[in-house]
């Protein structure tokens, strides 16, 4: 998913930029949070995870879905992340 390719080295064509903007607008509508906020969340997730493992940032997929919550079955937004791990880092010091 090209939604948050902020850190990608891919060449951005006008088509890809337009698709990314459309996805951001749709996410904004679904979650009532700004695209800038979602970008900040992705950036923070990458910062934390890369302390522990090497990841494939191009394959990183983050999306907002709607899911049922608890016994009452309320529908709430949920952040779902698919993060391809290339290798674990040695954290022993």
pLDDT at 17 over 70: yes
pLDDT in tens, 59-81: 888 877 778 887 888 877 788 88
Of residues 1 and 24, more confidently modeled: 24
Q: Identify whether 70 is part of a domain.
A: yes
Q: Identify whether 64 is part of a domain.
A: yes
Give the count of domains, the chain: 1
pLDDT at 38 over 80: no
Mean pLDDT, residues 34-55 taken together: 85
Average pLDDT over the chain, rounded to an integer:
77
Q: Compute CA distances 77 → 6, 18, 31, 66, whole Å.
A: 23, 24, 6, 4
- Return the pLDDT at 2: 45
Q: Identify whether 3 is part of a domain.
A: no
Which residue range(s) make up the domain with 64?
13-88
Q: Identify whether 7 is part of a domain.
A: no
Q: Identify whether 54 is part of a domain.
A: yes
Report the length, in residues, of the chain: 93
Q: Identify whether 1 is part of a domain.
A: no
């Amino acid at each position: 998913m090209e939604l948050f390719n902020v850190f990608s080295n891919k060449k951005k064509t006008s088509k890809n930029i337009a698709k990314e903007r459309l996805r951001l607008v749709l996410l904004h509508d679904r979650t009532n949070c700004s695209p800038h906020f979602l970008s900040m969340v992705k950036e923070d997730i990458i910062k934390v995870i890369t302390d522990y493992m090497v990841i494939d940032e191009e394959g990183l997929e983050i999306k907002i879905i709607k899911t049922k919550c608890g016994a009452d079955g309320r529908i709430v937004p949920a952040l779902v992340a698919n993060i391809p791990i290339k290798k674990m880092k040695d954290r022993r010091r």
